[in-house]
Structure 1
Amino acid sequence: MFLQLLAFMIAIGGSVLGGPINTPGFPAARVLSQLPKETWLESIVVRRNGDILATSLFYSSNVFTVTRPSFHTDNKAKVLASVPEVNSLLGITELPASYGEEAFFFVGGNFTSLTTFTTTVGSFKGFKLTFDRYGKATVKKVSDLAPISSFPNGVTAIPQAPGSVLIADSFVGAIGRLDLSTGHYDPKAFAFQEMTVPEGAVLPIGVSAMRIKGSYLYFGNPSTQSIYKVKVDSKGYLVKKAQPSLVANISSVAPGLDDFIFDSHGNILLATNSPENAIVHVDVKTGKSKRIIGGPTDPLMPDSTCLAFGRGIFDTNTFYVSTGRNISDPTTSARIVAVDASLLNY
């Protein structure tokens, strides 16, 4: 009987402990966790055990966690760690496994205004979040990033180089490389025109997010609303004479571009942030893009910032979206939204 029940729950994408994630007749998305007032989530990842980690921006410098998100109907986000050295946290990425250690890298610094994106140059640092065998989390500063750092935003690990990470600085308009063991930071390991803010751009933010997929480093530039790719070697270094090529420009679909991930087919799902508040699918072969959920008048995902696929038994087809809050409405707060990708038409 239990096996029959289990098979039924898997078939509808649910949980044997906390009810289904989605059931027939329900929409593909739901609010998984609503955070307190004056919270803004910036980046989100999913741990090996399925728990969610999310960093908060400007209103607090906390790393939040939601445990076993597919097994509960009430998924309250709790503070896992606080970083008092800074007032804002940004990108977070899981580091490749090393001697069984589970660890993440994230960046943080000081903002004086979120609406005008005013930062304190030189305040940004890199941190390592490590879990021991008992699940206890410890945060340790890895590096005071170079004085030139003014808006380190997205970060990504390098699969074949566990000792280094890449950091996109949206104001510098370049991608830096950080050695985690020495703390040495090269702020312009990747520096191309496609990463900078064009003259006269309405949004003064250059390269903001990136991912390594196969032999390429993919990166997004919100000011041009475009995603590019450039060839790298197995250690994440630029291949000699390689130049970026355009993957897609999404300006005709959604006026916004924030963090992105790859789906099981190798295509891109990206968060658009405000004012679009939507998720866009990008076919990496054709460059065609389409909005698949959310929109300017949809209150579900205000200021969608980042997304990550589940890693549990019941949520491998679910991606989780972190949000900021509606800037025009200070009574709103951040949330995490769960979206069942199998129910979307794309």
Structure 2
Amino acid sequence: MFLKFLTFTIAIGGSALGGPIDPFGSSAARVLTQLPEKTWLESIAVRRNGDILATSLFYSSNIFTVTQPSVHAHNTAKILASVPEVNSLLGITEVPGSYDEEAFFFVGGNFTSLTTFSTTVGSFKGFKLTFPRNGNPTVQKVSDLAPFSSFPNSVTAIPQAPGSVLVADSFVGAIGRLDLLTGQYDPRAFAFDDMAVPKGAKLPIGISAMRMKGSYLYYGNPSTQSIYKVKVDSKGYLVKGAQPSLVANISSVAPGLDDFIFDPQGNILLATNSPENAIVHVDVRTGRSKRIIGGPTDPLMPDSTCLAFGRGILDTNTFYVSTGRNISDPTTSARIVAVDASLLNYY
């Protein structure tokens, strides 16, 4: 077992970072919490108890938390954990655990510029955040990933293989598989042409998001503005001979594509990031897509990055959106937006 232990700052309850803000924008959405200046949220997940976890990119290497988001009218984001070994955190996903333990896997590394997406190759690592039933949460380093890892952007758990996770590297243009117990990492477990950065692409990013759903692994590439799927088995391995197929191309609806989730009907809701700053609905059967909230001139969701549905009794129809900030204006900051999906007419 090669699980490595590091020293981190853990703040249970944390220090308040960002005060309440009056809701604005769509009647279906409200700003749940506003963070301080020079913050950028990259990925978001919801705990079993309904609390939100969000990772921060480039400006800090913190995991923020919002407690009981469905209960309070106004919320504050607090620092739950800091990871001083790196300067940026990216994707986060819950990994299957025991009744006595709740755990999340996330990745982090060093960025030298967010505007040009410059990173330090080989600085990226995988971490595990654990919430024991009794006691304080802890952060442990699981793996240094591969020496040439340069932008491990998205991560996803494998429901039937709790000891492994998948890691999508946007610069490498492939999906890796990581063994959480040994730290062994196969950086090219999935490598298809449609995961790579196309020649001449304005945005030097390949695969940026992925999710498992049923017998398929779905993934998105912002450079092609498309979502694809490929057949996998219950352990998350590629089915022999399987080839990717196109689910949807959203270029006619929005010029961006970031992380996505599945709604209760099995269709896709995706964050578009800048300059669209919107959420798009994709019908996975027909490939039809349309913007359902936000937009280039709407200040509600600047640089929308990731989404997650609530897990409490009061917010099962609510999805939360993490945002970056207006990248050209350093005085702006990240926020988390709550959207009541039941009020959106997108069917």
Whether TM exceeds 0.5 here: the answer is yes
Say which SS state the counterpart of residue 65 (structure 1) adopts.
strand
The code of the aligned residue for 2:236 comes to G
TM-score by length of 1: 0.92
The code of the aligned residue for 2:319 comes to F
Question: Distance between the aligned counterparts of 2:204 and 2:189, measured in 1?
Answer: 21
Question: Distance between the aligned counterparts of 2:342 and 2:74, measured in 1?
Answer: 23
Q: Is the contact made by 2:216 and 2:230 (CA closer than 8 Å) also made in structure 1?
A: yes
The code of the aligned residue for 1:33 comes to T
Q: Is the contact made by 2:208 and 2:219 (CA closer than 8 Å) also made in structure 1?
A: yes
Question: Distance between the aligned counterparts of 2:194 and 2:310, measured in 1?
Answer: 31
Question: Distance between the aligned counterparts of 1:158 and 1:100, measured in 2?
Answer: 20
Question: Distance between the aligned counterparts of 2:86 and 2:165, measured in 1?
Answer: 20
Q: Which residue of 2 aligns with 1:126?
A: 126
Question: Distance between the aligned counterparts of 2:275 and 2:315, measured in 1?
Answer: 28
Question: Distance between the aligned counterparts of 1:136 and 1:216, measured in 2?
Answer: 36
Q: Deviations over 1:305-331 (max 9, x none)?
A: 000000001000000000000011111
Q: Structure 1: any 5+ residue segments left out of the alignment?
A: 1-21
The code of the aligned residue for 1:142 comes to V
- What is the correspondence of 1:182-221 to structure 2 with a 5 Å cutoff? 182-221=182-221
Q: Is the contact made by 1:228 and 1:245 (CA closer than 8 Å) also made in structure 2?
A: yes
Deviation at 1:73, TM superposition (A): 1.7
Question: Distance between the aligned counterparts of 1:113 and 1:328, measured in 2?
Answer: 13
Q: Is the contact made by 1:319 and 1:338 (CA closer than 8 Å) also made in structure 2?
A: yes
Deviation at 1:137, TM superposition (A): 1.2
The code of the aligned residue for 2:156 comes to T
Deviation at 1:230, TM superposition (A): 0.2
Say which SS state the counterpart of residue 332 (structure 2) adopts.
coil
Q: Which residue of 1 aligns with 2:268?
A: 268
Question: Distance between the aligned counterparts of 1:343 and 1:133, measured in 2?
Answer: 36
Question: Distance between the aligned counterparts of 1:99 and 1:29, measured in 2?
Answer: 34
Q: Is the contact made by 2:100 and 2:133 (CA closer than 8 Å) also made in structure 1?
A: no
The code of the aligned residue for 1:171 comes to F
Question: Distance between the aligned counterparts of 2:258 and 2:93, measured in 1?
Answer: 15
Say which SS state the counterpart of residue 230 (structure 1) adopts.
strand
Say which SS state the counterpart of residue 334 (structure 1) adopts.
strand
Q: Which residue of 1 aligns with 2:278?
A: 278
Question: Distance between the aligned counterparts of 1:127 and 1:98, measured in 2?
Answer: 18
The code of the aligned residue for 1:66 comes to V
Question: Distance between the aligned counterparts of 2:75 and 2:287, measured in 1?
Answer: 36
Aligned residues: 324
Q: Which residue of 1 aligns with 2:233?
A: 233
Say which SS state the counterpart of residue 55 (structure 2) adopts.
strand
Say which SS state the counterpart of residue 155 (structure 1) adopts.
strand
Question: Distance between the aligned counterparts of 2:293 and 2:201, measured in 1?
Answer: 27
Question: Are positions 1:329 and 2:311 aligned together?
Answer: no
TM-score by length of 2: 0.92
Deviation larger for 143-152 or 130-139: 130-139
Q: Which residue of 1 aligns with 2:319?
A: 319
Q: Which residue of 2 aligns with 1:291?
A: 291
Q: Is the contact made by 1:98 and 1:162 (CA closer than 8 Å) also made in structure 2?
A: no
Say which SS state the counterpart of residue 194 (structure 2) adopts.
helix
Q: Which residue of 1 aligns with 2:19?
A: none
Say which SS state the counterpart of residue 76 (structure 1) adopts.
coil
Q: Which residue of 2 aligns with 1:56?
A: 56
Question: Distance between the aligned counterparts of 1:36 and 1:200, measured in 2?
Answer: 36
Q: Deviations over 1:289-344 (max 9, x none)?
A: 00000000000000000000000010000000000000111110000000000000
Q: Which residue of 2 aligns with 1:165?
A: 165
Q: Which residue of 2 aligns with 1:109?
A: 109
The code of the aligned residue for 1:104 comes to F
Say which SS state the counterpart of residue 36 (structure 1) adopts.
strand
Q: Structure 2: any 5+ residue segments left out of the alignment?
A: 1-22
Deviation at 1:135, TM superposition (A): 5.8
Deviation at 1:99, TM superposition (A): 5.0
Say which SS state the counterpart of residue 37 (structure 2) adopts.
coil
Q: Which runs of 4+ in 1 moved over 3 A?
A: none
The code of the aligned residue for 1:267 comes to N
The code of the aligned residue for 1:276 comes to E
Evaluate the alpha carbon distance shift between residue 134 and residue 99 of structure 1 in structure 2; reply closer, same or farther with a 3 A threshold: closer
Say which SS state the counterpart of residue 307 (structure 2) adopts.
strand
Deviation at 1:98, TM superposition (A): 2.9
Say which SS state the counterpart of residue 194 (structure 1) adopts.
helix
Q: Which residue of 2 aligns with 1:67?
A: 67
Question: Distance between the aligned counterparts of 1:124 and 1:100, measured in 2?
Answer: 29
